[in-house]
Structures are given as C-alpha cells and as structure tokens.
Amino acid sequence: MKKQLHWISLVLIILVGNCTTKNDPAPVKVQEGLWVLHEGTFNLNNAGLSAINLDSGKVVVDFFRRQNGRALGDVANDMKRYGGKVYIVVNNSSILEIVDVANGQSQATISMINDGFEPRQPRQVAFDDGKAYVCSYDGSIAVIDTTSLKIVTYLNSSGQNPDGIAVQNGNLYVSNSGGLNYPDYDNTVSVFDLNTNKEIKKITVGLNPGTLAADPHGDVYVLCRGDYDQVPSSIKIIDASSDEVKGSLLITGSSISLFGTTLYVSNYDFITRKSTIAVVDVLTEDVISHNLIDLSDVQTLYGLYVDENDGQIFVTDAKDFTSQGKVFEYNLEGELQRSFVVGVNPSKLLKITTTR
Amino acid sequence: MVSRQSLYILFSLTITWSPLALGQMDSLHLLTPIIVEEKALISPKNTSNPVYTLDQEQLERSNTTTLADAVKTLPGVYLKDFGGIGGLKTLSLRGLDAKYTRILIDGIPIIDAQMGQIDLSTYPVAQFSSMSLALLEPSGTLLPASAYNGVNFLSLQPSTSTPKNGLDLQFGVKMGSFGLFQPHLLIKNGWQHHQLGGFINYQSAHGVYPFTYQNGQLTSHDTRKNADQKALNALTNYQYKNNWLKSTWNLQLQSSNQGLPGAIILYQPNALGQRLYRQNWSIQTKNTAKLSPKWDAVIQYKWSENHLTYEDPTFLNEESMLRNTYQEQHHFTSLGLRYEPDTSFSVYFVGDLDYSQLITNVSQLETPRRYYWLQALRINWHNSRLHLQGGLLHHYLFDQNKSSAATRTQKWNANAGFNYQILKKQALFLKMMYKGLFRMPTFNELYYNLVENPNLKPEYSNQLDAGLFWEKRNWAGQEYVSVDAHVFYGQTRDKIITVPTQNLFIWSMQNIGTVENKGGQVAITSYFKMGKKAGFTTTTNYTFQRNIDRTDESKSTYGHQIPYTPQHLANLQVGYDRHKWSLTSNVLYNGARYRLPENSIGNYLPPWFTQDVIFLYKMWLNEIELRGRLALNNIWDHSYEVISYFPMPGFHGFLTLTIII
C-alpha cells in the first residue's frame, strides 16, 4: 500500500506534456516593395528583414524567416543590392547572407570566421566589377565573387576596426574606426588598389570614421563620429584623384547616405531628443538644408531612404531601441503619407523593383 | 504527559517550511536544544511575514549543489540562471531583482557595492547548516543595521558554527555530469567554552553539456563549451561562549577560475574564450555581551576584499585582448544595544558604518568610494496571541569619485507588521506587514560607461503583504498539515534603467522606471505517517505574480509585464521515507515570460518544467554514518531556457558519498 501510494504520487506529479509545436508560417509570394532590415538587439538573435508592399500597404514582418524557415541572426548591420541579389551583413553572427531579390530566399550564407574559429565581425559591404567587398572589425576585407558566391581572398587593413567601405575610381576605401580601442580611436581611411589588392595609402581624416559614401563626381564622403565628448562629429571629403582630404563639413550626424546626387546626413540628438536630416549637394559641396522635413512624428530617427523619382522619403524610427520600430513614408514636400510597424531597430531600407 | 522527544517533534513541525526533515527523526537525538532555541526565532507562527526555512537535513536531501539549487524551490522565487555549473545564478523574488535581496552569513550581510547582487552558484550548499528566506525581518538576533536593509532576506548559517561538544567530522565527495568532482571536508570540535570549526570545498568540472535549440524550422544540436570551472571555498570558525559573552570569528575564502559561456549566437561557432577569475577574502566577528538581565550589547566587524578579473582573448582591439580587473574593499563596523525589560518587549538600536571602494583598470571608473552610515531601530512586542514588529532605518551616504563632486544622500524609511492568532484553540494566524525601502545605486549604476550620473537617486520600493498561516497535527489520520497563503502588493519608483544619452554608444542610468507588483502565493505542507518506520511528505507552493511597467502611458510597453518575471511559479515536492532510505521527487514549473520590455510574440519565452528524483540511503557502522545520495535531474530531458539563448542542461545526475564520524 505504501509503495503504491508512493508510485501513485510520483505518477501524479509527472505532468505529461511538453506540447510546444512550432508552426512557422509558410513562405509568402513577394511583390515589389520596400525591404526593411532590423538590427535587433545584441545576443537575442532577433535581427530580421521585413517586406512592405507599397501598393497594398501590407507588411510581412520577419519576411526572411518566412521565406527561409530560419532566423537571420544576431545584429544585422548592412544591406545592399548588387544585380539580382541582396547582400546582408550580420555582424554578431559573423555571416554574409545573400538572398534573391525575386523571392527573398537565401542563395548563400558565407561565414566570416578566422583560422582560430573566431568571428571577424563584418560591418559593411560595397561592390565593384563582379566582386563584393565586406570589411570586418578584425581588420580584414573579404573579397567575394558575386557569381560563385564564395570568398576569393582577404585584404587586410593596416588600421584598426574597419567600419565603412566604398569604391571610387576603381579603388577601395575603408574607414578605420578603432571603435574597440576606446578611448584611442583610429582616424584613418585606407585606400586599396583593386588591381593589385594592395593598400596604397592611408589618409588621415577625423576621429572615429564610420560610413563612407562615394559620389558621382569622384569624391568619397567620410562620417567621422568624434569621441562623443570633446571632439565633435564632422564629415570629411576625400578627393579620390589625389586621395587627399579636400574639405570638411561641420554637421553633426549619426549616419550618412547618398541617393542620386544628394548626401543626406541623419541625426538624432539624444539630449534635445530631436531628429533631423541635413542635405548636402555633392556637386557644390554645400549644405542646402539643415532640416529636410519635419520629423516630429519620429521618436528616434534611425534609417533613411530617398527615392526622388517616385517622390518618396522613408524614415525609420527605433523608438526606445528594444520595442518594435516603425517606418514613416513622406512625400518630397515633407507631408506624412503613412507608417508601418516593423521589427526592433529598423536601420537599412531598400526599394526592390524588378525593373532595376 | 508529553514526552521530551515529542515536544521536540512538535517544535520542529512548526518551524520548518518543508516537512522533509520530519522523516529524519532518526537524527533528531543528535540535535541539541540550542538549535531549537535558534530555530524557534524563525517560526512562521511568530513573524508577521512569510518565512521559508530549509535546514541541513532538507538541504542534504534536496537536489542541491549550490545555494542556487536550494532557493529555487521556495515560493515566489525565480532563479535567473544562465545555465550550467559556472553560469551566473541570481535570485529574483516576487519579481524584484537580486539587488533587493540581502544575503546574510551568520547575520552579517555580503556586500557587493559594484554590482549589488550575489551569484548564488559560488556558495556550495554544504557550507551552510540552514537557510531561511524572509520578507520583513531577517532571522536572527542582534543583527547589524544593514541586515535589515533589504526587501527580502536570505539568512545562512555556516555549517561550522553549529554548537556542539566533542569532535565532529564529515567527509563527502560528489561526482557526476559535467565532469563534476567535488570533495568537501567539515570538522567541528567543541570543548568547555570553545568551539572550532573548519570547512573546505573544492569543485572542478568541465561544464560541457549537449543542448538543442530551435531556429525557425531548424532544430540545432550543439554543446555548451568554455564552461569549465575550478573553485575553492574555505571557512574557519571559532566561537567562545560563557554566561555573559559570546564571541564568534569567521575567516572565509572563495577562489575560482572559470570559463564564461556566452549566449547562443546563430551561425557563429560560439567558442569564445572569455574567462572570469575570482578571489574573495573576508574576516568577520560578532561579539555579544549580556550587560545586565535587561541590556545586551553587540559589536560586529567585517573586512572583505574581492578581486575579479574578466578576460576576453577574442576582443578585436589592438592588443587582441580585453582584460578588466576589479578590486573591491570593505570595512564594516556595527554597534548595537538592546533593551529587553521583560520577555514580551524589546527595543534594539544599531548603527553601522560601511566603507567601500573599487579599484579598476576600466578607464571610466575612477576609484569610487562610498561611506554608508546606516542606523536601525527595531521594536518587538508580543503577548500570548499578538506579535508586533516595527522599525525605522536611517541612511546617510557619502559617494566620492575622482572625476565628479562628492554627493550626499540622506533617507528615512519604515516598516511594521503584526501576527495575530485568530482563534485561541486553533493554530490560525493572521499576518500583515508594510515595508518601505531605498535601494542605493551600485557603483556600476553610478559610474557606468562613459557618462556617469552622480545625481542618480536611490530606487524606492513599497511592499505590502497580508497572509494566513494555519497548521494542524494528528487530524484525520494525518500527522501534520500547514497552509501558508499570502497576497502582496508593491510599487517600485525611480527605478534605475539604462538609456542611451548622447548616442548609441553612450548609455547611462536614469531614474525613470515605475513598476507595480502584485500577486498571491500559497504553500501547503503535509506529512503522513505510515506505520512506525515510514512517512510520506509533500510540500507544494504556487505563486501568481504580475510585475507591470507603469512608467509612461504614452509608451508601447506601458502595462506590460516586465522582462523575466513569470506570472506563474510552482513547485511540488513529494517524499517517501523509510528508516534507512528516502526517495524524493521535485517538480519545478516556471511560467511564460518575456525577454524584452515589449510583450510581443517575438519576445515570448515559453513555460518549462523539470522533474528531479533524489534517492538517499543511510547506513551505520558502529558510530560511523555512511550516506549515499543519487540525484537525477531533469529526468525527462527537457530543452529549456531561463534566460533567452542560454540553454539549460538536459538530463543529468550526481552521486554523493558522505562519511559522518
């Protein structure tokens, strides 16, 4: 009796269950639209890609997961299109994810790991003549063949923690941020000759250089973020024919992006809590406007995409950096058209059209 | 006529939260009346707040390696567990984080001015003879003022300090999963007025275990790497006691060298070589004197020095290595005086001075220093049916740091509670308590990252609790039943939250959060006797809690459950005892929770439960007792996570052999 009671009691407390079946939704059919990359938050593997159908206004949140049945990874940093493919740099997962623009399906996942099985921490991607170049925090620049989707070779920057990358006049420009050597930031841009794959010059710019933008007139714009304390942020202009710094713009910016012949400098001021977009004409190298549009609807400006032909300005809002972000659509007059709820920390945007 | 032994049994029935020990009547004769006296202080019958106690027998029989394993079965506890042998384990009680729980060893708090929380996995359970978790007042008498400075209290009694005459020797070895090899030795000797004890525990493990995780439709298998640990805990204790004086001295060492397994990062090899080295020393002494029949005085002192080194050999700076060192020092002095005109009334006044400093090579932290003067007034009164408790705390702080002006903080807060026996002939008690408390910002919070915020205010928390405690013996064929049911409500204001200040790289701490917590919990304990030599025990508890963000109505997270606070927590323990052996089963359930402030599907973490089975066998060879213990944990091999992307071990087990002379 005692034994029975014991066994009965044991059986009673064994909760039969564990019915956690995961039903991942099936892939969706995609049309042209706006792709939104969300960075996610560190260590939560919640980076993702959303697709917005601009005709219907429908958002497929976590479009990458729907199309591929798996997550994008941890901390997505960059997204650019080259030909029929979109290249996504996932920093903390240390991968380059290459997807087809037609359906969002993965074509290749390239692991960026060094010989000691340590993550290289890739940051940004640029393209030239059938090659993709990915700079990583460990100082390497991976050269990827865009046909075979394989790493051909690695270049090595002599600077610390490469962060931004751009191609101008057949040369590759890589900004050395030194971000992980705080407080001793780096302040250089390395120039590589893509014919010889050699570093040919190191240009001193401002402190803590980040994103680079190559304009149509042979210049490279460098966002130098300063030390967030005594040294303010600035934008340096490199003349690619001489590889000298020819000018400097004193605009505070958290990111720069070039669309057409215009450079946009986005900034969120953490003290005044105001979001602004400044505009630079890259031909005259003048600041045209300090306030492109009224962004009072945006809590925390994070990403920008301008399509002058279609008259659209898309702005992303990172909110408090842990909640679901938003994408706002404005017309060129700065009137708010509509907004979409997307994933955590939406950073990069890409308009996908099959005709381009 | 009640015999002496049954009186004792009655006593122990009322004072233990879990009756697992009740099956251990064989060992009762070993215990001396002094322990009864000490334990009676923490009886749920005469405190106005929930108190849950585990004594040595229960700790021995439960599935415990470290303190972390011991506390996680108690009501309202959510153990924030990063998994495995070396994973950080801190205690969250009723949704309040570890910074709100004071941990006392022999009445003196462990202070961590840098982080404000204690990793429970660094204390082997064999180091302690009992532990109790309380909400209004820590158990024990003539404690320092800072012992009262917490919302919750975890009081630990070192196993070396159990007063007993004659030589006592215990040697045990634990082995099993994760390559664990853990020998410990405990020696106690008492003669005349003196008692000397020593404890040493060594722990070595590779920490490797397999786990599976889900990535969309993919199921991935991996092993937890870089989880090795070597740790040494040592403790010596000396006590002198005569008619009017009791003096206790304690010397403690904790030393460890461990790998730090990180979160699962998808598509990454996850073989990072981050390490943590720890070496903590402390000396503490407590001296109590009976000055007269009505007056007691107490003087306490503690010195401690903690060294912590964090290494990351994969960090991508110029040296390809990040090495942060922290050295924290404390000098702690406390003086107290108690006036007890008769046994029903006492007033206790105590004042502490605690000096802390932190020396580190992290450039933004420039040797912060803190002088903390804390005074406490405690009043206790009772008659045959009513117990009243109340007190005041006065804080005076002086914070100093090279790069900013010194700041002073002065605060008062109060607490009170009662316990009333509702019916004269029934053991039915009504309890209520109120507590207001300030939690001072830690060094990390004050001087975190690049931008320090020396104007940071303390967090303020208000907690209310009301409950009923009922127990019955020899009723309807049962030996013992007790029910302890509580409801609670609380609020935390000026909650310290990290926010980016100048840009995304510079975060600082701000007093911006408001959190409301409310809920209820019930603990039921029963013991059935089956014939002369067998017994059947159950302890079960269930907690429902809501911890809600009330910061800003315009934010999307307003009204959401704050991260890592499950709404449901439950534990069920069933034990069957024979004279020589016992079998215990424990089922622990943690409900769903969210990993970020927004309660969205993407942040949802599913509920989990684990079941452990423990078999204990005892035999005697003359005067020598031999014990064998087999613990099988997570017997259904569930894959689960307490903290997102920190996988917990599946099925694992340990065998412990102990010799007691």
Q: Could you tell me the pLDDT band of residue B361, with boundaries at 50, 70 and 90?
A: confident
Q: How many domains does chain A have?
A: 1
pLDDT at B442 over 70: yes
Residue B150 tokens, joined: 């917490």
Identify the domain containing residue A41 by its residue range. Answer: 2-18+25-355
Could you tell me the end-to-end alpha-carbon distance of chain B, in angstroms, rounded to an integer?
35
The residue-averaged pLDDT of B374-386 equals 92
In chain B, residues with a C-beta closer than 8 Å to the C-beta of A62 are 602
Residue B452 and residue B445: Cα distance in Å, rounded? 8
Binning pLDDT at 50, 70 and 90, where does residue B11 land? very low
Q: Look at A23 and B119; give whichever has higher pLDDT.
A: B119
Say what the pTM is.
0.88
When CB atoms are compared, the residue of A68, A109, A322 closest to B597 is: A322
- The residue count of chain A comes to 356
Chain B residues with beta carbon closer than 8 angstroms to that of A319:
556
* pLDDT for residue B451: 57
- pLDDT value of position B26: 27
Res. B23 pLDDT band, cuts 50 70 90: very low
Are B527 and B482 in contact, with CB atoms under 8 Å apart? no
Q: What is the largest CA-CA distance in chain A?
A: 95
What DSSP state is assigned to residue A25? P
**Least confident among B24-33, B252-261, B283-292:** B24-33
**Amino acid at site B51:** V
Q: What is the pLDDT of residue B450?
A: 52
In tens, the pLDDT along B287-296 reads 999 999 999 9
Distance CA B602, CA B436 (A): 36
* % of chain A surpassing 70 pLDDT: 92
Tokens at A117, concatenated:
């099985």
pLDDT of B64 reads: 75
pLDDT band, very low/low/confident/very high, at B477 (cuts 50, 70, 90) = low
Please give the distance of CA B305 from its chain centroid, rounded to a whole number.
21
The string of pLDDT tens digits covering residues B179-197 is 999 999 999 998 888 999 9
Mean pLDDT on A238-249: 95
Does residue A214 contact residue A174 with C-beta atoms inside 8 Å? no
Ranked by mean pLDDT, which of B51-60, B83-92, B246-255, B435-444 comes out on top?
B246-255
Q: What is the largest CA-CA distance in chain B?
A: 81
First to last CA, chain A: 80
Size of interface A-B (CB pairs under 8 A): 153
CB contact under 8 A, A6 and B314: no
- Alpha carbon distances (Å) from A171 to A89, A126, A220, A259, A346: 21, 11, 11, 21, 31
The CATH number for A66's domain is 2.130.10.10
Flag if B504 and A254 touch (Cβ within 8 Å): yes
CA count, 13 A, side-chain hemisphere, A87: 23
- Give the model's pLDDT for residue A71: 96
Reference A210, options A231, A232, A186, A191; nearest CA is A186
User: Which of B3-12, B178-187, B361-370, B634-643 shows the lowest per-residue confidence on average (mean pLDDT)?
Assistant: B3-12
Question: For residue B20, what pLDDT is reported?
Answer: 30
Q: What is the pLDDT of residue B478?
A: 60
State the best of A3, A19, A41, A44 to mutate against chain B, taking most chain B CBs within 10 Å: A44
Range in A168-172, B9-13, B579-583 with the lowest mean pLDDT: B9-13
Average pLDDT (A126-155) is 97
Contact A319/B556, CB-based, under 8 Å? yes
In angstroms, rounded to a whole number, what is the distance separating the alpha carbons of residues A56 and A76?
A: 27
Q: What is the distance between the alpha carbons of residues B47 and B378, in angstroms, rounded to a whole number?
A: 14
Q: Which of A160-174, B133-147, B511-525, B628-642 has the lowest mean pLDDT?
A: B133-147
Residue B29, pLDDT above cutoff 90? no
Does A183 sit behind a cis peptide bond, omega within 30 degrees of 0 on the bond before it? yes
Kindly list the residues from chain A whose CB atom is less than 8 angstroms away from the CB atom of residue B505: 228
Contact (Cβ atoms closer than 8 angstroms) between residue A96 and residue A134: yes
Single-letter code of the amino acid located at A105: Q
- Give me the mean pLDDT over the A39-66 stretch: 93
Task: Please give the angle made by the CA atoms of B288, B291 and B294, to the nearest 5 degrees.
Answer: 105
Per-residue pLDDT tens digits for B223-253: 998 899 999 999 999 999 999 999 999 999 9
From chain A, the residues in CB contact with B534 under 8 A are 2
Average pLDDT over residues B324-332: 93
Per the listing, tokens 């959510």 go with B78
Residue B100 burial by Cβ neighbours in a 10 Å radius (0-12, 13-18, 19+) = buried
- Best of A67, A302, A320, A341 to disrupt the B interface by mutation (most B CBs within 10 Å)? A320
pLDDT at B2 exceeding the cut of 50: no
At residue B121, the pLDDT reads: 87
What mean pLDDT value characterizes chain A? Answer: 90
- Summarised one tens digit per residue, pLDDT across range B502-560 is 555 556 677 878 999 999 999 998 888 887 778 888 999 999 999 999 988 988 899 99
The whole-number pLDDT of residue B505 equals 55
Residue B213's SS3 state is strand
ipTM for the assembly: 0.89
| pLDDT above 80 (res A43) | yes
pLDDT in tens, B34-82: 222 233 334 566 677 778 888 777 777 676 778 888 888 888 999 999 8
Tell me which chain A residue has its CA closest to the CA of residue B269: A117
pLDDT surpassing 80 at residue A313: yes
- The candidate with the shortest Cα–Cα distance to B563, out of B604, B608, B602, is B604
Q: Is the pLDDT of residue B651 over 60?
A: yes
Compute the average pLDDT of residues B628-653. 94
Note the pLDDT tens digit of each residue in A276-296: 999 999 999 999 999 999 999
Q: Span A48-52, mean pLDDT?
A: 95
| Alpha-carbon distances, residue B427 vs A33, B52, B420 (angstroms) | 71, 18, 10
User: Do the chains contact at B267 and A93, CB–CB below 8 Å?
Assistant: yes
The reported pLDDT for the residue numbered A307 is 94
By percentage, how much of chain B surpasses pLDDT 70? 88
B602–A93 C-beta distance less than 8 A: no
Which residues of B are less than 8 Å from A139 in CB distance? Answer: 316
Please give the Cα distance from A237 to A249 (Å, whole number). Answer: 8
